[in-house]
Amino acid sequence: MKIAIVSLGCPKNQVDADVFCHALLKAGHETVSDAAQADVIIVNTCGFIQSAKEEAIENILLACSYKQQNPDLKVIVTGCLAERYKQQIVQEIPEVDAVVGIGSNAALPAIVERVCASGAGQVESYGPKSDMPLGGARVISTPRHYAYLKIAEGCNNRCHYCAIPLIRGPLRSRPLEDCLAEARWLAGEGVRELIVVAQDPTAYGEDWGKPGAVCELLDGLNAIEGLRWIRVLYAYPERITDDFIAAMVRNKKVLPYLDLPIQHCDDAVLRAMNRRGGRREIEDAIARLRAAIPDLTLRTTLIAGFPGETEEQYAELCDFVKTVRFDRLGCFAYSAEENTVAARMEGQIDEETKQRRADHIMELQAEISAEKQAAKVGQTLECICDGVDEESGMYLLRGKGDCPEIDGCILAPADTPLETGAFYRVTITDSDTYDLYGYAEEKLEDAQ
If you write DSSP's letter for every residue of 143-202 in order, what string do you get? -TTEEEEE-EES-S---TT--HHHHH-S-EEPPHHHHHHHHHHHHHTT--EEEEE-S-GG
Q: Where are the domains of the chain?
A: 2-131, 146-374, 380-443
Phi, psi of 112 (to 5 degrees): -60, -45
256: amino acid identity, one letter: P
Let me know: does 58 contact 27? Beta carbons within 8 Å: no
* Per CATH, domain 2-131 is 3.40.50.300: no
Question: Is 133 strand, coil or helix?
Answer: coil
Q: What is the percent of the chain with per-residue pLDDT over 90, rounded to a whole number?
A: 92
pLDDT tens per residue, range 101-126: 999 999 999 999 999 986 678 899 99
How far is residue 244's CA from residue 439's CA, in Å, rounded to a whole number? 35
Is the model more confident about 353 or about 442?
A: 353
Confidence of residue 205 (pLDDT cuts 50, 70, 90): very high
34-38, 46-50, 298-302, 401-405: least confident range: 46-50
Confidence of residue 71 (pLDDT cuts 50, 70, 90): very high
76-90, 187-201, 314-328, 359-373: least confident range: 76-90
Mean pLDDT in residue range 350-368? 98
Mean pLDDT in residue range 156-180? 95
Confidence of residue 416 (pLDDT cuts 50, 70, 90): confident
Helix (H) or strand (E) holding 28: none
376, pLDDT greater than 70: yes
Among the four given CATH numbers 2.30.38.10, 2.40.50.140, 1.20.58.410, 3.30.70.580, the one describing domain 380-443: 2.40.50.140
Let me know: does 72 contact 66? Beta carbons within 8 Å: no
Residue ranges in 66-119 assigned as alpha helix (H): 80-84, 86-92, 108-116
Phi, psi of 329 (to 5 degrees): -155, 135
Q: Which CATH class is domain 146-374?
A: alpha beta
326, pLDDT greater than 90: yes
Mean pLDDT in residue range 235-245? 95
Give pLDDT, residue 447. 47
Average pLDDT, the chain: 95
| Stated pTM of the model | 0.94
